[in-house]
Structure 1
Amino acid sequence: MRIISKLLPASKLKLVISSIGILALVLFSSMVIFEATKVNVVVTDNGMEETVKTHQNTVGELLTELDIVVGEHDALSHGLDEEIQNGMAIDYKTAKEITVTIDNTSRTYFTTKDTVEEFLEEQNFSLTDNDDISHKDADKLADGTHIDIIKAFEIIINDGGNEKKAHTTGKSVEELLKENNIKIDDNDKVEPSLNEDVTADTKITVIRVDIEEEKITDKIAFETETKQDNSLPKGEQKVVTEGKEGETARTYKVTLENGVEVNRELIDEEVTEESVNKVVAIGTKEPEANLVTLSSSSGNSDSSGKTITMTASAFTATCSGCSGYTATGINLKSNPNMKVIAVDPNVIPLGTKVWIEGYGEAIAGDTGGHIIGNRIDVHVPNKSEAYNWGVRKVKVKILD
């Protein structure tokens, strides 16, 4: 200013100073007017809000001014060609790249959603509670997030014969049973094994094994003993001791599979009561005189002995209720072909050897309630032969 004042006269200096002041005022006024004509716009960039004053005409121009590049998948609340209005609120979100792998198949998505749950709903993923997903619903999404999904499949579990459906993503058999509240006892059988991984083709079978102890009481049959007694007339018998059944207690280990017995093992046996054998005395005392009186309808006799005509029926030791033992202690069940006849001891003494027409030689070894007088009963091995014999008249020869 001092230089200018030296060069110019005072009048001209005043003119210059006035011009500069006017120019400055014009510039200041222009700036005020420029600022005053700007519009206010609220811009939210990925959650960060900023109020912007601008002379830009369109949303796109404003975003360019703010160095915001809108990508193909980004979210923008207004069109890029929309005119700017005072008080306008513009919301912009950058899209995030998300990779989703479902059962080993991957696909890339772009989203402006904030959480996993919002993203899955946006893409209409059909998921169930049994599916496995690598993230929780509330997890925040970031660019490059990788979400793994394993879809559950249905299998059938046969639990002790009862079938139930279950869903799994391929855990072990043991884990799947626990998830479905199926408890396994030490004795139970599981197919396949508990540590085997479950696939869509797996069929799980649980065999319920129960091991129980069972006690059973059985009767012990008594035996019949015979002994000779010379105080009794020959052929007579007398029960000396009545027989009595004994008792035994057996303990078994019983194995049941799904309620069905599959094995029985004897683990203990105890005789709780001994049996008592029946004792029968058989008389061996010879009669003092031969009381046999034989009358022969034929009147024939020879040196071999006397002959008498008698009525003969047949019997077998296998009849219902028969003991198989004769009055003289012969076991006919053990000797089914033995020739024995039942007689009236007052006619033919027990122990006498005889010959019977149509039957052969035999021994008088038994008695019978209906065998009285001139009547005998011949022993045959079975009922069929007894029926064939029927009742007939025969000649009986005394041999000794």
Structure 2
Amino acid sequence: MVGGDGVRRSSLTGRWRLAAQAAILATVVGTTGVFALAHKSVVLDVDGEVRTVSAYGSTVGDLLDFQDVAIKDSDLVEPAADERATDGGTIVVRTSRQISLELDGKPQTFVTTARTVGELLTALGPRAEGAMTSASRSQSLGREQIRVSTLKTVHVAVDGAIVTATTSEASVEGVLEHAGITLSVGDAASVPLGAAAVDGMLVLVTRAASGAATVTETLPFETEEVKDPYLPQGQRNVRTSGKVGEAVTTYAIQTVGGTEVSRTVVDRTVTREPRTEVVVVGSLDPSTIKVDPGSSKAIAKSLAAQRGWGDDQFACLDLLWMKESKWNATAENRSSGAYGIPQALPGSKMASAGADWRTNPATQITWGLGYIEGRYGTPCGAWSHSQAKGWY
């Protein structure tokens, strides 16, 4: 009986030991599985410094924390920090900083992720479309203060009429030249010619006193706004700049005691007809653009976002490349040799973005976005040029 109890106890102890070992093994296997699932190899692009890294975490933010990449609320992170991280994916981080610039004559400070003048203009939004700058759009932002003159409306009272000009000229003198208003010797403006042009400002031009019966006068131009369903809402472009006309007018002047008391038009000959200013106003809702996950459009939208281009700019990009290639990576213009989604001419230009330029939409899109930024600043700038000239 004693021996029987000992065998029974030994058997029970063995079962408990096996159960404990099984539990420990399950815990180890489970933990290892979690680590295996959490481990990621990703391409990390921080302010243009690109490297492939190994990290642990389930979200983009986890992976950045593992790599000691600190992010602020004002930084750009694509995909977003709270999105699920994918093995083999790409994480782009553009850190924000404070910069100073002169915007329409006023010093201002901005917090932005922009690294070039072109990216800065994009960050300023639709009002900076068509803006004039003191530096090339491709120039890196540094300590040198950048001067930006945005599209604005300036009113000029001259020769009894009001001329309204829409322009990105930086100075009052530039606005007058843009509108074709010439100042003669002795003429004066109510605002110094070198002063910054500001949206909504009024400039009064006073002509020098003259007793002549025949004078040359300014004829104001009209402004026409045209809605464009192929331009995103908020975008405004000057399709045709307005120019004042000129007329030679002969007056009958009546004086009393040497002082002019009345002036009557005897004859007026128009020597130059005014040119109507045409301003295009976008009416396209960017939210109507359909993007299928994993498609070339989805790749382009993500890469455009990494440059700071939002839905309005992507809408222009979609229109541009739909016109050029219908987003076909193997589209070829046999007469010109233009190739791919952006219709690079020649197609071999895209080799600078990757050796697989003939077949890889991402390579073509990367090259195309760089081309657009360097030459036109934004997709909407390229699209406006394409609408006006038929090419970009």
Which category of TM-score, normalised to the shorter sequence, fits these structures?
0.3 to 0.5
Could you say which structure has the higher helix fraction? 2
Task: Give the TM-score normalised by the residue count of structure 2.
Answer: 0.33
Instruction: Determine which structure has greater relative contact order: mean sequence separation of CA pairs < 8 Å that are 6+ residues apart, divided by chain length.
Output: 2
Larger radius of gyration: 1
Task: Give the TM-score normalised by the residue count of structure 1.
Answer: 0.33
Could you say which structure has the higher strand fraction? 1
